[in-house]
Amino acid sequence: MAELENPLLAPSALPQFDRITPAHVVPAVAQVCAEMSKGLAELEANVVPSWQGLAVPLERLQDRLGRVWGTVGHLMGVANSPELRAAHDAAQPQVIEVSMATSQSRPLYEAWKALRDGPQWPQLNAAQRRIVACNVRDAELSGVALDGPARERFNAIQLQMAELATQFSNHVLDATKAWSLDLTQADDVAGLPPSLLRLAAQIWREAHPEAPASDDAATHGPWRITLDTPLAAPFLQHSRQRALRERVYRASVTRASQPPFDNTPLLDAILGLRLELANLLGFADYAALSLTQKMAAQPDTALALLEQLRGQSLVAAGGDLQDLRDLALAAAAPEATDLQPWDVAFWAERLREAKYSFSDEELRPYFALPNVLDGLFALAQRLFGVTIVAADGETPVWHPDVQFFRVQDARGQTIASFFLDPYSRPAHKRGGAWMDECVGRSSALAQPTEAVRLPVAYLVCNQTPPVGEVPSLMTFGEVETLFHEFGHGLQHMLTQVAEGMASGIRNIEWDAVELPSQFMENWCYHAPTLRGLTRHYQTGEQLPMALFDRILAARTYRAGSDMLRQVLFALTDLALHHGYQPGQGETPFDVYRAVAARATVLPPLPEDRFLCAFSHIFAGGYAAGYFSYKWAEVLSADAFAAFEEAGLDDPTQVAETGRRFADTVLGLGGSAHPADVFRAFRGRDATTDALLRHAGLSQAA
Q: Which residues carry out catalysis?
A: 485
CA atoms of 110 and 260, how far apart (whole Å): 47
CA atoms of 493 and 377, how far apart (whole Å): 14
The answer to whether the beta carbons of residues 356 and 557 sit under 8 Å apart is: yes
- Stretch (H or E) spanning 74: helix 56-78
CA atoms of 55 and 503, how far apart (whole Å): 14
End-to-end CA distance of the chain: 66
Residue closest to 142 by CA, chosen among 190, 174, 186, 108 = 108
The answer to whether the beta carbons of residues 484 and 517 sit under 8 Å apart is: yes
618 φ/ψ sector (left φ>0, alpha ψ -120 to 50, else beta): alpha
Under 8 Å CB-to-CB from 241, ≥6 apart: which residues? Answer: 187, 188, 190, 191
Residue closest to 515 by CA, chosen among 672, 675, 653 = 675
At what angle are helices 194-207 and 229-238 packed, to 10 degrees?
130
The half-sphere exposure of 338 on its side-chain side, counting CA atoms within 13 A, is: 3
- 408-413 long-range contacts (CB < 8 A, ≥24 apart) are 409/385, 410/385, 410/386, 412/387
CA atoms of 371 and 401, how far apart (whole Å): 16
DSSP-derived letter for residue 55 is: I
The answer to whether the beta carbons of residues 667 and 502 sit under 8 Å apart is: no
Residue closest to 444 by CA, chosen among 54, 162, 67 = 54
Residue closest to 207 by CA, chosen among 426, 52, 15, 384 = 426
CA atoms of 206 and 211, how far apart (whole Å): 9
